[in-house]
Amino acid sequence: MTQSHDPHATEAEQRLDAINKKTGRNMPQAIVTAVLLVAVILACLLINVQLFAVLVDIFMVLALWELRVDFAVAGFRIPFVTLALCSIATLASVFYAQDHVVTMGLCVIASLVVVAVMATLNLTLTGRTDTAVRGKVLADGSMAVDMPQRSAIDNVAVSMFTVLYIPLLASCIIMPLTFNGHPVSHAILIVFMPALSDTGGLFAGAWLGKHKLSPRISPKKSWEGLAGSILFAMAGSYAVFACTYDAAIWATRWWVPIIAGFIIGIAGTFGDLCASMLKRDLGIKDMGHLLKGHGGVLDRVDSILLAAPFICLLLWATGL
């Protein structure tokens, strides 16, 4: 008994394979993961904004774990437990303190000092981390499973960079929850608009992308994708603002979503490029594998982290 093959199904599979190859992602998996993430984030925001702040803490700790493994592939050692504790303390302090900016600055400075001291210690990989490192090396197709040894100053530099990359930028996700009385809309703008921008860039790049944006850093990025990112972010920002503010505010601030769209599209794309440079320097393909279809947590939040300070400043400066 022979099996019949549906030519339409084969053609659809070929188109899906072509899209996956062009975007560098498993799109069905990416869509399912994105839907689940959206549901969890919205549930936290609707129940209590403090739950959303806790969710940010959890994601940043997971990002630090992935970053520890990624750096260890290249021989760098960062004090994960110290970084995690400093991140949680910084984000919680920024959320609950009255002077959020000063608190953020003091916490980041204290974190830099503590992390620098801990990074000078002779850190060794735990068995679980060592297994994760070796598994990542093999998954990325490298034959070198012996990680190089780095000096103490290298570990200090990388650890201090991590403080600036995770707790400092993540504080700008937390801070807009605390001013002008619109925590839910601010959270949606900061978290979902970069993701929407990324989606617009993916689709525009997949179907229209011909002119490479930065072929040496990220061959899949295109100028058409950047335009799609900006347009999607702009449209999404208008939707968020339309559902949040009344007509009187719109009359004087109709231009804010336009600026927000440009900021999110450009900063988000720059965040993706920075993550691509980091991965290339470390010799890895993905920052992690915790999110199906999206790679690691940092692969998902890199654009959010880079866009957050600019969105935070825009919302504060315009009084929204």
What's the mean pLDDT in 181-198? 90
Distance separating the N- and C-terminal Cα atoms of the chain: 67
With cut-offs at 50, 70 and 90, classify the pLDDT of residue 75. confident
What's the mean pLDDT in 215-237? 84
Residue 162 has pLDDT above 50, yes or no: yes
Question: Which of 284, 315, 318, 319 is closest to 298 using CA atoms?
Answer: 284
* Half-sphere CA count of 143, side-chain side, radius 13 A: 0
Place of tokens 């504790």: 85
What's the mean pLDDT in 177-188? 90
Distance CA 296, CA 248 (A): 42
- Bridge-based pairing of strands 218-222 and 212-214 is antiparallel
Question: Which of 274, 309, 304, 282 is closest to 67 using CA atoms?
Answer: 282
Distance CA 53, CA 252 (A): 31
Question: Which of 315, 306, 283 is closest to 136 using CA atoms?
Answer: 283
**Which residues, other chains included, contact 95 with Cβ-Cβ below 8 Å and sequence gap of 6+?**
50, 53, 174, 177, 178
Greater confidence (255 vs 320) lies with: 255
The CA dihedral of 218, 220, 222, 228, to the nearest 10 degrees, is -120
- Domain regions of the chain by residue span: 46-178, 181-320
Angstrom CA distances, 3 to 6, 10, 117, 155, stand at: 10, 14, 66, 59
Greater confidence (121 vs 50) lies with: 50
Question: Which of 96, 97, 67 is closest to 164 using CA atoms?
Answer: 67
Distance CA 261, CA 187 (A): 15
pTM: 0.82
For the chain, the residue count is 320
With cut-offs at 50, 70 and 90, classify the pLDDT of residue 273. confident
Looking at the chain, the whole-number percentage of residues with pLDDT higher than 70 is 78
Distance CA 200, CA 268 (A): 12
Residue 138 sits at φ, ψ, to 5 deg, of -70, -40
Distance CA 206, CA 24 (A): 10
With cut-offs at 50, 70 and 90, classify the pLDDT of residue 64. very high
Residue 10 has pLDDT above 90, yes or no: no
Residue 212 carries which side chain, given as an amino acid letter? Answer: K
